[in-house]
Amino acid sequence: MALNSNIPDGPIQQKWDKHRAELKLVNPANKRKYNVIVVGTGLAGASAAATLAELGYNVSAFTYHDSARRAHSIAAQGGINAAKNYQNDGDSVWRLFYDTIKGGDFRARESNVYRLAQVSTSIIDQCVAQGVPFAREYGGYLSNRSFGGAQVSRTFYARGQTGQQLLIGAYQALQRQVGLGKVKLHNKQEMMDLIVVDGRARGIVTRDMVTGKVQSHMADAVVLATGGYGNVFYLSTNAMACNVTATYRAHKRGAFFANPCYTQIHPTCIPQSGDYQSKLTLMSESLRNDGRIWVPKQKGDTRSPDQIPETERDYYLERKYPSFGNLSPRDIASRAAKEVCDEGRGVGPGGLGVYLDFSDAIRRLGEKTIADRYGNLFEMYERITGENPYKVPMRIYPAVHYTMGGLWVDYNLMSNVPGLFVLGEANFSDHGANRLGASALMQGLADGYFVIPYTIGGYFANGGLQAVGNDSQEARTAVQESEQKIAALLALNGKRSPTSFHRELGKIMWDKCGMARNEQGLKEALKRIPELREEFWQNVKIPGSGAELNQSLELGLRVADFLEFAELMCFDALQRNESCGGHFREEYQTEDGEAKRNDDEYCYAAAWEYNGVGATPTLHKEDLSFDNVKLATRSYK
């Protein structure tokens, strides 16, 4: 099957305007005749559901949380980018576009990224109008900070709680529509499957997490905004419940999964402290504005940091990348940290850590200013580690944070299954092989507020949708299959907990498909994962029944999907014989250890088609063309 990305023609600056002008419209009176299912109420889902309802569509929104406000977007700390150029420092739509393409290591689709940069400015306006309390300067104007991979200051923030405030804005807009009766919100409902009828996405199967009831919901289009799959690694900065089920189930129903191996390892997380560790905590990248990263020059130097004189410290990012320094992009900063730790210069227990030191900034700006900027992050650090970062440098280590891969979508954010739209972290569209800080929030809201409201209308206006009900064969079969899967899991009554399998899978993935990968390791993983999956299906233990609130069952179902999905990631990583962004293949590096891309052979998005559990998936390539930005070796030196 040929992938058609449906990129409008014409100059990149005009594509989106032109496309909007050409999209067929649904007239206002007809909009209420269309039912739209939105799965997920994070930034992408909540903004989409609210906006579609404002336009007049009938929206049903689903989340596995007890409230729409709890989506993982809430945890984003640092900020959101927008090309406002309020700082008069030379920012522009073009520059944001360029930085994102370059940051993504030339593996994203130009047209989508340009549109993202274009609508970024409207996002800020919309959020301000909703009452999002962005940080302000004394004069009353919006304040900005800098983030990695950019030399301009374009990041808007609300203390260290930007994601929370943006999500609350979208959540409030959503609740307003619920109050007006335009959105039916289904909390505590987990999507188990996608229902495809006549080749189009027409509904979903859900499990009620309180009563256990499995049922179908039908609609004219399905929008997935279900977030990323970083928890395949077990330990990540993602919230505990984040999982791949929704997108993976859609993949099993025909949707192509693109670039699953592109995962982002964030350089500034609190190091792991023990085996019981359930998740890792991010320290926002914004800290790198004022914190300096270093390790001792000497191997195995166990002196306390204040005993190590300036001359015996290696500020390795400043040394290696003088123009970006501590603000080098994430993939580069993470790998650099791994490198110094591998050399035996890491600090803290097990030598898996580097210092993030604020003493210079505190001397320069005073403790109060630092507290103003990062107070809550410092508090959080102290609560977790018991150490006071105003006094001793933080210890940080890279951790899995974000997944650039996701379901393949065209310019309209529609997957190859007509009627299935995918937004936010769940799609693959804008970040290529590496995402720049503060760009995920921007993308989620761009997709939800400003893209899908237009493109979904174009899909409906093209017509051809027959009525399909819950009694259709496809819906009944899908419900039965989900019920059978639940029954099968509960019947196993083995010896091991779902968590123990999850942890083991995570370790395989981190070791073999993590910050650095190689052919041999990936092949080993491809051998180990099916074995582990087999054991899972013989030996997992899930107490209780399906007809009640059963958290072990919820976890078991998610882990079962991770155990299939992990293989897909390894296939993808193995296929890509180059290093780019978050995908670092050890065989492909320059002499000084930088990622070595291979544009002649790999300048494409890899979209995978499902062929059955354990079967090798089929690769479809979307060739990426760079007509506006010249393909170049990424350099932050």
Partner 1 sequence: MNLRLHIWRQSGPDAQGMLKTYDVQNVSEHMSFLEMLDVLNEDLLTKGEIPVAFDHDCREGICGTCGMVINGRPHGPLVRTTACQLHMRTFKDGDEIYIEPWRARAFPVMRDLIVDRGSFDRIIQKGGFVSVNTGNAQDGNAIPISKKDADRAMDAAACIGCGACVAACPNSSAMLFTAAKVGHLGSLPQGQTERSTRAMNMVLQMDAEGFGACTNHYECEAACPKGISAEFIAQMNKDFVASAFGGRD
Residues near ligand FAD (CB under 6 A) are: 39-45, 62-65, 71-73, 75-80, 162-163, 190-191, 225-228, 237-238, 242, 245-246, 282, 401-402, 424-426, 438-441, 444
Q: Please, what sign has the CA dihedral across residues 519, 525, 528, 530?
A: negative
Residue 538 is a binding residue for partner 1 (CB under 8 A) = no
Q: Which of 78, 296, 418, 453 binds partner 1 (CB under 8 A)?
A: 453
Q: Which is nearer to partner 1, 18 or 84 (CB)?
A: 84
CA-based nearest residue to 283, from 511, 80, 437? 437
Helices (H), 131-244: 162-179
Binding mask 119-148 for partner 1 (x = CB under 8 A): ---x-xxxxxxxx-xxxxxxxxxx------
- Rg over alpha carbons for the chain, rounded to the nearest Å, is 24
Burial class (CB in 10 A: 0-12, 13-18, 19+), 240: exposed
Q: Work out how close the CB of 54 gets to ligand FAD at its nearest, in angstroms, rounded to a whole number.
A: 18
Q: Which residue has the tokens 């919901």?
A: 217
Q: Which is nearer to partner 1, 171 or 397 (CB)?
A: 171
Residue 253 is a binding residue for partner 1 (CB under 8 A) = no
> Phi then psi for 351, rounded to 5 degrees?
65, 20
Q: Which of 35, 87, 172, 518 binds partner 1 (CB under 8 A)?
A: 172
Q: Work out how close the CB of 50 gets to partner 1 at its nearest, in angstroms, rounded to a whole number.
A: 7
Q: Which is nearer to ligand FAD, 174 or 526 (CB)?
A: 174
Residue 129 binds what, of partner 1, ligand FAD, none (CB under 5 to 8 Å, by partner type)? partner 1
Residue 526 is a binding residue for partner 1 (CB under 8 A) = no
Q: Work out how close the CB of 451 gets to partner 1 at its nearest, in angstroms, rounded to a whole number.
A: 11
Q: Which is nearer to ligand FAD, 76 or 595 (CB)?
A: 76
Q: Which residue has the tokens 């990631």?
A: 569
Distance CA 243, CA 557 (A): 10
Q: Under a CB-based contact definition with an 8 Å cutoff, are residues 559 and 501 in contact? A: yes
Buried b (16+ CB within 10 A) or exposed e, 446-482: bbbbbbbbbbbbbbbeeeebeebeeebebbeebbeeb
Tokens found for residue 406: 């996701």
Active site residues: 330
Q: Work out how close the CB of 163 gets to ligand FAD at its nearest, in angstroms, rounded to a whole number.
A: 5
Residue 130 binds what, of ligand FAD, partner 1, none (CB under 5 to 8 Å, by partner type)? partner 1
Q: Which is nearer to ligand FAD, 63 or 482 (CB)?
A: 63
Q: How many CB atoms lie within 10 A of CB 598?
A: 14
Q: Which of 369, 388, 484, 551 binds partner 1 (CB under 8 A)?
A: 551
Interface positions, 255-294, toward partner 1 (CB under 8 A):
273-274, 276-279, 281-282
Q: Which of 18, 54, 87, 371 binds partner 1 (CB under 8 A)?
A: 54
Q: Which residues make beta-bridge pairs with 406? A: 258
Length of the chain: 637
Distance CA 345, CA 23 (A): 57
Q: Which of 541, 575, 598, 628 binds partner 1 (CB under 8 A)?
A: 541
> Phi then psi for 531, rounded to 5 degrees?
-65, -45
Q: Work out how close the CB of 159 gets to partner 1 at its nearest, in angstroms, rounded to a whole number.
A: 6
Q: Under a CB-based contact definition with an 8 Å cutoff, are residues 167 and 46 in contact? A: yes
CA-based nearest residue to 187, from 46, 328, 318? 46
Q: Work out how close the CB of 263 gets to ligand FAD at its nearest, in angstroms, rounded to a whole number.
A: 12
Residue 489 is a binding residue for partner 1 (CB under 8 A) = no
Q: Which is nearer to partner 1, 201 or 540 (CB)?
A: 540
Residue 165 binds what, of partner 1, ligand FAD, none (CB under 5 to 8 Å, by partner type)? partner 1
Residue 507 is a binding residue for partner 1 (CB under 8 A) = no
Distance CA 271, CA 286 (A): 18
